Chain A
Amino acid sequence: MSDANLSGAVPIRKSSLLEQSALVRKRHRTGTILRWLGFSAITLVLMFLAILLWSIVSRGVPALFQYQAQIELYYDPAVLNPDGGDVSAEEIGTINLRTGFERGIFTSSLRSTLENAGIDIEGTVSRRWTAEAIGALDAAGLTGASAIIAAAPTPADAARQLGQAGSAVRAAVAAMDGDDTNAAITARDAAAQALNDLGFAQAADRVASIDPSDSAALAETGYQAALTDAAGALRQPAQFDDAALSSIIFATNRRDVRDQLVDNPDLVGTTEKTGVPIDISVTRYLSGELSGVGTAQMPPGFDIGQLALVDAMVEADLISNSFRWHFFTNPYSQSGEITGIGPALMGSAYMMLVVLVFSLVFGVAASIYLEEFAPKNRFTNFIEINIANLAAVPSIVFGILGAAILFTLMDLGFGSSIRGTALLGGLVLSLMTLPTIVIATRAALKAVPPSIADAALGVGASKVQMVFHHKLPLAAPGILTGTIIGIAQALGETAPLLLIGLSVSTGAALLSSPFSGGLLEQAQSMPTVVYLLAQNQDAPVREGLAQSAILVMLVLLFALNILAIILRRKFERRW
């Protein structure tokens, strides 16, 4: 029945297979361009990803190591049990953190540890300041200062002499600035004399030879500044006190140590070799980030005297750099030295548990109903569209919803007990995750070949049996993938949690088991702790520990994704 008349058909053209026609060439060109565009897009993305990862890892990993001073911590009974007699935990609990623990325990323990290691604390500090003074003078050409300082009875005397000489030079500059030539000559000579008296003969000659009207030339010598600086430096060691000593280590507000002693009063009177964290600013010096020379390179709040002690401690092997295990168990704290993500990790894990239970159960149930059992009418259509829309709702909106529920509960009288708990956080995140899971589950159910459903119904399976025996197992990999993606999303969600109080419960301790009320305890969460860490007043916390916490989250997400892949492989044996 084929039509033999081909008059309407395209005429056959003869052409060589070996040469490309213009059309084919054009197609090839488009193909090549598209290939290159795709390739460069991928390269660019990978590059950004690499930069991002590198920046996180290069900051986050070193921050996981902490400098600690190995201190013989002596729990002095004179401080902890001043009345004598039996040690009472209650009494320890009332001891002042500053006078008792910072001064009485930490400072004196540090002092004795240093002394036992053969470090002369005051000597080390004053030697460094003296060197600083000599350095300042040398730099200005005032050589031979060490002899002068050594000759003075005390550094304070030397400081006074240098200060007087400095004043003489300043007076000379002022006089030479004026119109009175005689006065200028007198002042100049007095300055030269003062320098000469101190032993700076060369400098004295130079000052004496300056034209009395040329005040600028005298100012340019820099003698005055050097003398004043040196005098200042020599006065510093006298200011070195207990506070300056103890600020090197993390000794303030050691509530944790006090709590430990309250729990275990037997420790009183014992000596424990303990790694006490070095102050977080000083760690920047130890890590080489700050050189300690000049104001800009000085750890904020510290001076070279303290750094000299730190150097001496390093030399005496009293400072170690060890892994910050407590970062994974400690609660969040303002102080970078002891801050941690323990409760946050637990809180996030609990929330994931809540999310898993709620969103998986409700999500899968809702999807099965909508996909298999719901009548197709306007109402179910409306629900379907809205579930899809829900997936695009910004997470903070869910936070507001959570907050609204919270306020309602508060009005009813039991809001404060649920505020900031993992249960509330988990519920809010479940709402967010639900659409993702519903969409994934429905797609997975749709993807099951209809012939399988026919087969099941054909042998007399009921609809429920068909869904649960055949469709659901086949859809499981897709459902699992959707669930894990949803949970991973929820893990990183910050905004809703901030609104329902998961960031303010900063005192949260490790939670108890989720089956014994842990879900109803005040919790922290990883993203909110990252947020808090990134706002910390100390740069090493902002730029180091925040990245470490993010690294932990990335590792968790990575693990979740690996899990998703493994589960999918396991279930995807579609024979």
Chain B
Amino acid sequence: MDDLRRIERTTDMNDTKISAKGVQVYYGETHAIKDVSVEIGDKTVTAFIGPSGCGKSTFLRCLNRMNDTIDICRVQGSITMDDQDIYDPRVDPVQLRAKVGMVFQKPNPFPKSIYDNVAYGPKIHGLARNKADMDGIVEASLRRAALWNEVKDRLDSPGTGLSGGQQQRLCIARAVATAPEVLLMDEPCSALDPIATAQIEELIDELRQQFSVVIVTHSMQQAARVSQKTAFFHMGHLVEFNDTDQIFTNPQDPRTESYITGRIG
């Protein structure tokens, strides 16, 4: 099983999807991200780990420019996606976010029906030409998120009426419905029980076929289970970035070692 996976990993690791160089992030006076450079591969799951407050979410939000919505936040350095600078003034963050989907820590479905939740993104991006198209997108997205069988009979019922795990999968369906190239997930399982977590992890592994996935997690086991690459952040620095196996079996930096063995945190 383990061997099988390793083979998979090596075969799938191809081009770089997103490349960050010398990224600095400031919240007013606070220097939250200090000179981080990282390369995120296509069709790869990259895990960000690190103690609370080290800047994982901040860095993740740089990748789809969600930090733009925070007035006091300043981002420096360069982040490119497919060799295009995403902070170029000509780039519309709206267009970027359609390509770089995001799933948040707390499930946040819209207070609308399950169908409308999934259909919203395709609708505003004009991805469906007619109702049948849209139905197809909604079904495919819900199937991707492994939610279709549970909700297919109640697509008109409110999305907020689902269980926490179902809601999170609905949010994943919503994110994949816009056909993104990269999926950012900020602690997607922190509010979920082990069964729902397992479902989502399985899902992430499947999504990897098509997307590049970046996942922030506090669970070392989760990082080890789902990711091929792991980045360890500490106090705003990217301390170590390597193959997940390497990080967990042979960490190069003493800080990484103490974190994964449970001594910092």
A residues near B (Cβ < 8 Å) are 376, 449, 451-462, 465, 469-470, 474, 573-575
**B64 on interface, CB distance cutoff 8 Å:** yes
Type the 1/0 row for B84-128, where 1 means its CB is closer than 8 Å to any CB of A: 000000000011111001111010111110000000110011000
* Inter-subunit contact A575/B159 (CB<8 Å): yes
* Inter-subunit contact B111/A452 (CB<8 Å): yes
* Inter-subunit contact A458/B124 (CB<8 Å): no
CA distance A300 to B97 in the complex (A): 83
State how many angstroms separate the Cβ of A377 from the closest Cβ of chain B.
11
State how many angstroms separate the Cβ of B178 from the closest Cβ of chain A.
6
Known: A455-B108, A465-B124, A575-B160. A460 touches B66 (CB 8 A): no
* Inter-subunit contact A451/B175 (CB<8 Å): no
CA distance A454 to B71 in the complex (A): 14
* Inter-subunit contact A455/B94 (CB<8 Å): no
Known: A451-B108, A454-B108. A459 touches B161 (CB 8 A): no
User: Across the interface, which residues of A come within 8 angstroms of B161, CB to CB?
Assistant: 575
Known: A452-B111, A574-B111, A575-B160. A457 touches B97 (CB 8 A): yes
**B171 on interface, CB distance cutoff 8 Å:** yes
Q: Give the interface centre of B111, B121, B171, B177 by most chain A CB atoms within 10 Å.
A: B111
User: Across the interface, which residues of B come within 8 angstroms of A457, CB to CB?
Assistant: 66, 69, 97
CA distance A470 to B158 in the complex (A): 15
User: Across the interface, which residues of A come within 8 angstroms of B169, CB to CB?
Assistant: none
* Inter-subunit contact A456/B110 (CB<8 Å): yes
Q: Using CB atoms, name the residue of chain A closest to B157.
A: A575
Known: A460-B125, A575-B111. A455 touches B178 (CB 8 A): no
State how many angstroms separate the Cβ of B155 from the closest Cβ of chain A.
14
User: Across the interface, which residues of B come within 8 angstroms of A465, CB to CB?
Assistant: 124
B residues near A (Cβ < 8 Å) are 64, 66, 69, 71, 94-98, 101-104, 106, 108-112, 120-121, 124-125, 158-161, 171, 174-175, 177-178
Known contacts A455-B171, A457-B69, then 8 further A-B pairs from the complex at CB < 8 Å, ordered by chain A residue: A452-B108, A458-B66, A459-B121, A460-B94, A460-B125, A469-B124, A470-B110, A474-B111
Q: Using CB atoms, name the residue of chain A closest to B64.
A: A458
User: Across the interface, which residues of B come within 8 angstroms of A460, CB to CB?
Assistant: 94-98, 121, 124-125, 178
* Inter-subunit contact A376/B71 (CB<8 Å): yes
CA distance A449 to B94 in the complex (A): 21
Q: Using CB atoms, name the residue of chain A closest to B94.
A: A462
CA distance A460 to B123 in the complex (A): 11
User: Across the interface, which residues of A come within 8 angstroms of B71, CB to CB?
Assistant: 376
Q: Give the interface centre of A454, A458, A474 by most chain B CB atoms within 10 Å.
A: A458
User: Across the interface, which residues of A come within 8 angstroms of B158, CB to CB?
Assistant: 575
User: Across the interface, which residues of A come within 8 angstroms of B121, CB to CB?
Assistant: 459-460
User: Across the interface, which residues of B come within 8 angstroms of A453, CB to CB?
Assistant: 69
CA distance A461 to B159 in the complex (A): 19
Q: Which of A449, A459, A574 contacts B97 (CB 8 A)?
A: A459
CA distance A460 to B112 in the complex (A): 17
User: Across the interface, which residues of A come within 8 angstroms of B64, CB to CB?
Assistant: 458
Q: Using CB atoms, name the residue of chain B closest to A455.
A: B108
User: Across the interface, which residues of B come within 8 angstroms of A574, CB to CB?
Assistant: 111, 160
* Inter-subunit contact A451/B98 (CB<8 Å): no
Q: Using CB atoms, name the residue of chain A closest to B71.
A: A376
CA distance A568 to B109 in the complex (A): 22
CA distance A508 to B178 in the complex (A): 62
User: Across the interface, which residues of A come within 8 angstroms of B106, CB to CB?
Assistant: 451
State how many angstroms separate the Cβ of A380 from the closest Cβ of chain B.
12
11 A-B residue pairings within 8 Å (CB atoms): A454-B102, A454-B108, A455-B171, A457-B69, A458-B175, A459-B121, A459-B174, A461-B94, A465-B124, A574-B111, A575-B159
Q: Give the interface centre of A376, A456, A573 by most chain B CB atoms within 10 Å.
A: A456
Q: Using CB atoms, name the residue of chain A closest to B105.
A: A451
User: Across the interface, which residues of B come within 8 angstroms of A470, CB to CB?
Assistant: 110
User: Across the interface, which residues of B come within 8 angstroms of A451, CB to CB?
Assistant: 104, 106, 108
Known: A460-B94, A460-B97, A574-B111. A454 touches B124 (CB 8 A): no
CA distance A82 to B174 in the complex (A): 89
Q: Give the interface centre of A465, A573, A575 by most chain B CB atoms within 10 Å.
A: A575
User: Across the interface, which residues of B come within 8 angstroms of A573, CB to CB?
Assistant: 111
Q: Using CB atoms, name the residue of chain A closest to B107.
A: A451
Q: Which of B69, B111, B175 contacts A459 (CB 8 A)?
A: B175
Q: Using CB atoms, name the residue of chain A closest to B159.
A: A575
Q: Using CB atoms, name the residue of chain B closest to A465.
A: B124
CA distance A457 to B101 in the complex (A): 10
User: Across the interface, which residues of B come within 8 angstroms of A452, CB to CB?
Assistant: 108, 110-111
CA distance A376 to B158 in the complex (A): 36
* Inter-subunit contact B102/A458 (CB<8 Å): yes
State how many angstroms separate the Cβ of B109 from the closest Cβ of chain A.
7
Q: Give the interface centre of B109, B124, B175 by most chain A CB atoms within 10 Å.
A: B124
User: Across the interface, which residues of A come within 8 angstroms of B103, CB to CB?
Assistant: 458
State how many angstroms separate the Cβ of A568 from the closest Cβ of chain B.
15
CA distance A7 to B192 in the complex (A): 40
The 7 closest A-B pairs by CB, nearest first: A575-B158, A460-B98, A451-B108, A459-B121, A460-B97, A458-B102, A575-B160
State how many angstroms separate the Cβ of A400 from the closest Cβ of chain B.
39
Q: Using CB atoms, name the residue of chain B closest to A575.
A: B158
* Inter-subunit contact B109/A455 (CB<8 Å): yes
User: Across the interface, which residues of A come within 8 angstroms of B109, CB to CB?
Assistant: 455
* Inter-subunit contact B124/A461 (CB<8 Å): yes
* Inter-subunit contact A459/B101 (CB<8 Å): yes
State how many angstroms separate the Cβ of B264 from the closest Cβ of chain A.
13
CA distance A461 to B175 in the complex (A): 12
State how many angstroms separate the Cβ of A354 from the closest Cβ of chain B.
33
* Inter-subunit contact B112/A458 (CB<8 Å): no
Q: Which of A376, A455, A474, A575 contacts B104 (CB 8 A)?
A: A455
User: Across the interface, which residues of A come within 8 angstroms of B102, CB to CB?
Assistant: 454, 458
Known: A451-B104, A470-B110, A575-B159. A459 touches B120 (CB 8 A): yes
* Inter-subunit contact A469/B120 (CB<8 Å): yes
User: Across the interface, which residues of A come within 8 angstroms of B174, CB to CB?
Assistant: 455, 459
* Inter-subunit contact A458/B101 (CB<8 Å): yes
User: Across the interface, which residues of A come within 8 angstroms of B66, CB to CB?
Assistant: 454, 457-458
User: Across the interface, which residues of B come within 8 angstroms of A469, CB to CB?
Assistant: 120, 124
CA distance A413 to B174 in the complex (A): 61
CA distance A453 to B69 in the complex (A): 10
CA distance A465 to B108 in the complex (A): 17
State how many angstroms separate the Cβ of A463 from the closest Cβ of chain B.
8
CA distance A451 to B111 in the complex (A): 11
User: Across the interface, which residues of B come within 8 angstroms of A456, CB to CB?
Assistant: 110, 120
CA distance A514 to B36 in the complex (A): 65
User: Across the interface, which residues of A come within 8 angstroms of B171, CB to CB?
Assistant: 455
State how many angstroms separate the Cβ of B181 from the closest Cβ of chain A.
12
State how many angstroms separate the Cβ of B158 from the closest Cβ of chain A.
3
User: Across the interface, which residues of A come within 8 angstroms of B101, CB to CB?
Assistant: 458-459
User: Across the interface, which residues of A come within 8 angstroms of B95, CB to CB?
Assistant: 460
Q: Using CB atoms, name the residue of chain B closest to A470.
A: B110
Q: Using CB atoms, name the residue of chain A closest to B97.
A: A460
CA distance A458 to B185 in the complex (A): 11
User: Across the interface, which residues of A come within 8 angstroms of B159, CB to CB?
Assistant: 575
CA distance A573 to B110 in the complex (A): 12
User: Across the interface, which residues of A come within 8 angstroms of B125, CB to CB?
Assistant: 460
